[in-house]
Structure 1
Amino acid sequence: MAGIDAALQEHLESGHTTLCHAWRITRSDGVTFAFTDHDLPLVMEGAEYRADTGLTARALVQTTGLSVDNTEALGALSDMSLREDEIEQGRFDGAEVVCWLVNWTDVAQRKVLFRGHIGEIRRAGGAFRAELRGLSETLNRSYGRVYQKPCTAVLGDGDCRFALDTPGYAEARPVQDVSDMRSFMWDGFQGFEAGWFTRGRLEVLDGPAQGLWGIVKHDRFDGPQRVVELWEPLHGPVGSGTLVRLVAGCDKRMETCRLKFDNIVNFQGFPDLPGEDWIVAVPRSTAPNTGGSLR
């Protein structure tokens, strides 16, 4: 095995091995989980790799060149390890995964078998299947600009460069009332015109659902009450008094970028891109060809 240390290589060649797998999952919020398929816990690098999780792995597919390495992790859902509600909330999406082959009698003898991140997770019958994608997965993505009239940037990202903490473009306040984790209501929520947060974000800042967010579908007034409705319900409990942050929405039009955000210098669309009529237009002598419809 290429890259293996001498001690582990000697152990493998002995003909009597004491090997197991160890897994470490690190979520984007910094929470770490450590498991092993050995029947006793292991301690590696100051972390305890638990043995009571039922986590196993299918055969690892490893390839040369730029092909994608992949495998699948199987395990049981429990409050002590991976919880179904946290998977439903997307907290494990894109989490980093490292798998070792370990000599459980001497954990210093180990080799990294797989390093990547979690892809699709499926749940059924109190168990889960997590697709694991290798580091070369990112090489299969398409990159480049799309030529279109609307802006291709996300409000506040490195292309847009708009500062979301600019006064008047974000508002943090406790929720007064909520329905189906999708509609959020406030009395006396003034200072922003109706529709100001449409296409924006609602972010949960505290409570059990902290870190979750949703895209705003409607921002309207219903009598004295302001109603902010999301496209999809939040997959976590949000009750009255929970602190949320509303971020102004952008519809990607040049006029919105100029008038609402005063950020036209960073507009990432092509508003003067000719339409299809211009592309199929032909020369004619009766009138100048302006790119309009042919009659």
Structure 2
Amino acid sequence: MSGFPQALAAHLACDVTTVCQCWRLTRRDGQVSGFTDHDRRLSVAGVDYEPGTGLAASEARDSLGLAVDTVDVEGALCSERIRAEDIAAGLYDGARVEAFLVNWRDPAVFALVRTSTIGKLTRGGEHFVAELESLVHALDQPNGRYVSRTCDAELGDARCGVDIGASGFAGEGVVARAGGADTIAVSGLGDFAGGWFAHGTLLWTGGARQGRSERIVAHRIEDGTVLLTLLPSVGPVIAPGDAFSVAAGCDKSFATCRKKFANALNFRGFPHLPGNDTAYSYAVDGGQFDGGPVVP
């Protein structure tokens, strides 16, 4: 109890307590929501905590060592706060969750007891279950760079240096027809060669998906019609007339970096790295062992 504020510690020492749990959820896009297992709405530190979702938590444990402690939080899906389509779209993946112990009779008396991130979120019927992982899980993540032939920078970031907003690298269009398998026919991109936007990103600027970003898998032209295939996702239906902006894509290869973007000096991979076959082979007649580049 020594870590709790004096007022809360004194209240917990009483024979009868009036405490509840509150969870402040901060998505990666910055949206903040508050939930509580109390039966009334509470306002704590300027954030409103809603009881409507009927949240309930499993046992919470803090163990010694580097094991990742988890807590399951279960609640009801509701159209106002947590929607099934938002969960399926991954909007809550990696969200930060802060758990508070609050005196519901005096919400100014509270303490932060746990900070977690959502590791796995599943749903079934009208309910969802969020697995909250302790911050120790960050120690189990890969750090540093991998040595590979492909680039490990994101197109347009500081390490890449390409201005994807420049003329020729970006465009705007409108959905002309929505087909199956996440393929849409679009207008407004007729000046670009097929494949230019493959592996790029699409940002919806109008329609039911406005504000969402999608990954473009393929960009092709068939019988004069521009077709974009998007990475499969769950969300509102794409309809004719939906507007979007697109940015050129990169397949992370050295050849694309050099030819498409003239950015070979900033390539963040190791294109001339010999493969396993070369590393374990031996010199034979007719082989080329002049130390020249693997990728021209």
Cα separation, 2, equivalents of 1:21 and 1:290: 68
Instruction: Give the deviation of 1:233 after TM superposition.
Output: 4.1
| Structure 2 residue identity aligned to 1:30 | G
Q: Which residue of 2 aligns with 1:24?
A: 24
Instruction: Give the deviation of 1:207 after TM superposition.
Output: 3.3
Superposition RMSD in Å: 2.3
* Contact residue 34 and residue 48 of structure 1 kept, 8 A: yes
Q: Which residue of 1 aligns with 2:144?
A: 144
Judged with a 3 Å threshold, the aligned counterparts in structure 2 of structure 1 residues 179 and 289 are, in CA distance, closer, same or farther, namely closer
Alpha-carbon displacement from aligned partner over 1:17-46 (angstroms, at most 9, x marks no partner): 111111111222332221111122111122
Cα separation, 2, equivalents of 1:139 and 1:273: 29
Judged with a 3 Å threshold, the aligned counterparts in structure 2 of structure 1 residues 67 and 240 are, in CA distance, closer, same or farther, namely same
Cα separation, 1, equivalents of 2:283 and 2:193: 48
Give the alignment's TM-score, normalised by structure 1: 0.90
Alpha-carbon displacement from aligned partner over 1:156-176 (angstroms, at most 9, x marks no partner): 233222222121111122222
Instruction: Give the deviation of 1:192 after TM superposition.
Output: 0.8
Cα separation, 2, equivalents of 1:278 and 1:85: 48
Q: Which residue of 2 aligns with 1:278?
A: 278
* Contact residue 172 and residue 189 of structure 2 kept, 8 A: no
Match of 2:245, SS?
A: strand
Judged with a 3 Å threshold, the aligned counterparts in structure 2 of structure 1 residues 289 and 31 are, in CA distance, closer, same or farther, namely closer
Match of 2:270, SS?
A: coil
Instruction: Give the deviation of 1:188 after TM superposition.
Output: 6.2
Q: Which residue of 2 aligns with 1:35?
A: 35
Match of 2:236, SS?
A: coil
Percent identity (aligned): 35
Q: Which residue of 2 aligns with 1:214?
A: 214
Match of 1:175, SS?
A: strand
Instruction: Give the deviation of 1:96 after TM superposition.
Output: 1.7
Judged with a 3 Å threshold, the aligned counterparts in structure 2 of structure 1 residues 71 and 188 are, in CA distance, closer, same or farther, namely closer
Q: What is the total number of aligned residue pairs between the two structures?
A: 291
Instruction: Give the deviation of 1:227 after TM superposition.
Output: 0.6
Structure 2 unpaired stretches of 5+: 292-296
Judged with a 3 Å threshold, the aligned counterparts in structure 2 of structure 1 residues 191 and 38 are, in CA distance, closer, same or farther, namely same
Instruction: Give the deviation of 1:66 after TM superposition.
Output: 4.0
Judged with a 3 Å threshold, the aligned counterparts in structure 2 of structure 1 residues 137 and 210 are, in CA distance, closer, same or farther, namely farther
Instruction: Give the deviation of 1:72 after TM superposition.
Output: 1.2
Q: Which residue of 2 aligns with 1:267?
A: 267
Instruction: Give the deviation of 1:264 after TM superposition.
Output: 0.9
| Structure 1 residue identity aligned to 2:275 | G
Q: Which residue of 1 aligns with 2:75?
A: 75
* Contact residue 281 and residue 291 of structure 1 kept, 8 A: no
Moved more, 183-192 or 239-248: 183-192
* Contact residue 98 and residue 116 of structure 1 kept, 8 A: yes
Counterparts of residues 1-295 of structure 1 (less than 5 Å): 1-180=1-180, 182-187=182-187, 189-282=189-282, 290=289
Alpha-carbon displacement from aligned partner over 1:122-180 (angstroms, at most 9, x marks no partner): 11020000111222221110112222212222212332222221211111222222224
Structure 1 unpaired stretches of 5+: none
Instruction: Give the deviation of 1:12 after TM superposition.
Output: 1.0
Match of 1:151, SS?
A: coil
Cα separation, 2, equivalents of 1:182 and 1:213: 14
Give 4+ residue runs of structure 1 displaced > 6 Å after superposition.
Answer: 286-289
Match of 1:137, SS?
A: helix
Judged with a 3 Å threshold, the aligned counterparts in structure 2 of structure 1 residues 240 and 276 are, in CA distance, closer, same or farther, namely same
* Contact residue 96 and residue 117 of structure 2 kept, 8 A: yes
